[in-house]
Every structure is written in structure tokens, then in C-alpha cells.
Amino acid sequence: MSGVRLDKIVKSYGAVQVVHGIDLEIKDKEFVVLVGPSGCGKSTTLRMIAGLEEISDGSLTIDDRVVNRVAPKDRDVAMVFQNYALYPHLNVADNIAFGLRIRKESKDAIKASVDEVGAILGLTPYLERRPSDLSGGQRQRVAMGRAIVRRPKVFLFDEPLSNLDAKLRTQMRAEIKRLHKRLEATSIYVTHDQVEAMTLADKIVVMQDGRIEQIGTPMELFLNPANAFVAGFLGAPPMNMINAVVAKGENGPIASFDGQTLPLPALPDLQNAEGRPIIVGIRPEYANIVTAPQPGSVNCTLNLVETLGSEALLHATVGDDQFVIRTETLGKIDQLDHVNGFTVDPTLIRIFDAKTGKALGGQTRVA
């Protein structure tokens, strides 16, 4: 078992605390993605797991052993760096073999391991080349090769794809996924890219300001965000947020905003809550466009239409709030420029408390 457990982990630089006592359990063979905006503490957390940053407080357990005071080399973890960190004076084979040589493995064993890893990552033709003679994708593969050749208990990835172009990133994402399936090693992956998080993770940890906002599977987080931050962070484009107050409708609670109303799901928290400030969250793909006012539709002012081929993004405003609608173009292309409102299934609306940002209770949905 190569699980990792973080118990109330704190990181401080002098008087400034940047990670505020986070708890996290990562099971053996699990692929966990730490995601969040820049400065949220995800890389610091990863570096604490790696042993590159001291842990100010709390305890870190790898494979049932507390490793707070254990040097990186003795934690049996490997890390893939954002900037590759390949040794430029060594060729690909020597880069991959570096860790094995440090550990004084036999020459035959090193050669066999390097050849095997080279074959897995498609690097065999490049083993004699220097890093400067490789493309970005090849360099990143060498960086991964250097990590996997040691067969560590835990793989750590620190934004490994952020320096690649969009096409290569998609390709490498798939390769990482394949590699994880093949090696079945516990992996912790840091990114600020929510698409990487959604596609790679068994479990996503959303962080903000040194705290964990929510932990769950990608679909759990997508469907049932715990708060407005998570809702706004996951999804591309992110969930639309409309500031409103609860009002009483004929058939239940409604949201009132900008002189308009929108039927709300019948949540217990919304009963007898007239006047309560809320945030109405609507995913761009759940809004259905209308070109003429309909019962229950919300009026919006269309500002921009971005046609992406099979789908289009409609940028609009509802009162003072920005609102993006994602819609298919098939059969609708002529209507797009005339959109002046949308409808939405009330069961697909997420409601958050306007003060705390927390999701109101009773909204759990399954995919």
C-alpha cells in the first residue's frame, strides 16, 4: 500500500501562513489532482509531500510512515517538474539513469531499466540526444522517464504540461493517463487547468487561499459543487452566477433579480426564505436559448457570439452579471445573433448563499 495522508498540514513562511492545516487522504494507486488558482498553495503542498519544503505543522504519512523529517531521497517519491529540470550536460539515457546511478545499481540493471522506460515513452531513438536537441513534448517525456524508472511509491507532478502548446498538452495528457493505468502508481498532480483536473483525476482536490474547498470525483464536483468558488472554478466556461434574492412564487420559491424572476428548485433552505440574498448558479450548457420572451424565460442582452464549429459561446449580460451560454450550432446558427433570453430546468440550477458562498442543502445530484 502506497497511500499518502496529510493531517492538519500547515506551511508558514515566517509569520505568514500559506497552507492552513489541510487534511487529505490519498489511497494506493489513486490519481489525485490538486487544482486551484495561482497562489492557492497547491504547489507548496506538493513540495511538502516531496520533501522540498519543510512542514511547519501537522503530519505527513507515506505508506504508513510519518515522513515529516525524512529527506526527499528517502521518501521513495519521484517528481516531474514544470520546467522539466533535465540535466543539460547529460544525454537522455544518462538523465533517465541519473537516479539509478546515485543509488549504485548495477550497469546491466540500469541499462535494462533505461531501455524499458525508453520503449514505454517512445524515447528509444532519442536516448543519445541531449535535452537541447529535443522538442518540448520529448523533454517532458524524458522528465517522466526519469521519474518512472525508479518505480517509486508515489509520483508527483508539478504542472507538467503548462509549458506545452495546446495540442501537445492534449496528447501528453492522454499519455499520462495511459501511463498511470499501466503503472498503477499513486499519483499526485498539481495544475491550475481544470480540464486537466477533470480528465486525469480519480479524485480532485480544489484549493483556494491555502485551504481545501472540496474533495471529490470530477463529476461530484461538477454536479454538486460545495460552494460558489468550486462551481466557478470547474467547468469551461465556468458556471454563471446571478446575484438575486429569494421571493415567493405561485408554485414555490423564485429568484428575483433585475426586475425578473426565475423558478428555483424546492430546497428546504429556500422555504420561508423570502428576501434572503442568494447566488443563482447556472452552467452555460444548461441554458436553452430563446429569441422571443417565453413563460419562465430570463431576458439577457447579447454582446458577442463566438462560433467554435459544432457549438457556440454566447456572451451576454443579465442585469449587471455576465452570462455565457453554450449551445449547439446545428440547426440554430441563424438564431444565434437574435438571442435575447434563455430558459433553464430548475432542477439544474445550483443555489449558493450570497454571504458565505456555500451551496444550499439538499441539492445532491448524480450524473
Give contact residues for other proteins (rule: CB under 8 A). 50-52, 71-73, 77-79, 81-89, 98-99, 102-103, 130-134, 136, 139, 146, 150, 163
Q: How far is the CB of 73 from other proteins (least distance, A)?
A: 4
In terms of CB distance, is 138 or 256 closer to other proteins?
Answer: 138
Residue found by looking up cell 508558514 in the block: 12
In terms of CB distance, is 97 or 290 closer to other proteins?
Answer: 97
Pair 176, 182: CB distance under 8 Å: no
Q: How far is the CB of 219 from other proteins (least distance, A)?
A: 33
User: How crowded is residue 159: how many other Cβ atoms within 10 Å of its Cβ?
Assistant: 19
Q: How far is the CB of 162 from other proteins (least distance, A)?
A: 9
Nearest alpha-carbon partner for 278 in 254, 302, 301: 254
Q: How far is the CB of 276 from other proteins (least distance, A)?
A: 50
Rounded distance between C-alpha atoms, residue 271 and residue 294, angstroms: 26
Work out the burial of residue 177: count CB atoms within 10 Å of its CB; fewer than 13 is exposed, 13-18 middle, 19 or more buried.
Answer: middle
Outline where the chain has alpha helix (H): 42-50, 92-102, 107-120, 136-148, 166-183, 194-200, 218-223, 228-233
In terms of CB distance, is 87 or 109 closer to other proteins?
Answer: 87
In terms of CB distance, is 85 or 183 closer to other proteins?
Answer: 85
Handedness of CA 347, 348, 349, 353 (dihedral sign): positive
Q: How far is the CB of 132 from other proteins (least distance, A)?
A: 3
4 forms beta bridges with 26, 62
In terms of CB distance, is 38 or 310 closer to other proteins?
Answer: 38
In terms of CB distance, is 151 or 181 closer to other proteins?
Answer: 151
In terms of CB distance, is 164 or 223 closer to other proteins?
Answer: 164
Work out the burial of residue 5: count CB atoms within 10 Å of its CB; fewer than 13 is exposed, 13-18 middle, 19 or more buried.
Answer: middle
Q: How far is the CB of 235 from other proteins (least distance, A)?
A: 29
Task: State the first-to-last Cα distance of the chain, in angstroms, to the nearest integer.
Answer: 30
Residue found by looking up cell 436553452 in the block: 288
Q: How far is the CB of 230 from other proteins (least distance, A)?
A: 30
Residue 191 cell numbers, joined: 495544475
Q: How far is the CB of 212 from other proteins (least distance, A)?
A: 25
Q: How far is the CB of 122 from other proteins (least distance, A)?
A: 19
In terms of CB distance, is 53 or 209 closer to other proteins?
Answer: 53
Handedness of CA 110, 111, 116, 121 (dihedral sign): positive
154 forms beta bridges with 77, 186
Rounded distance between C-alpha atoms, residue 243 and residue 234, angstroms: 19
In terms of CB distance, is 100 or 262 closer to other proteins?
Answer: 100
Rounded distance between C-alpha atoms, residue 75 and residue 52, angstroms: 11
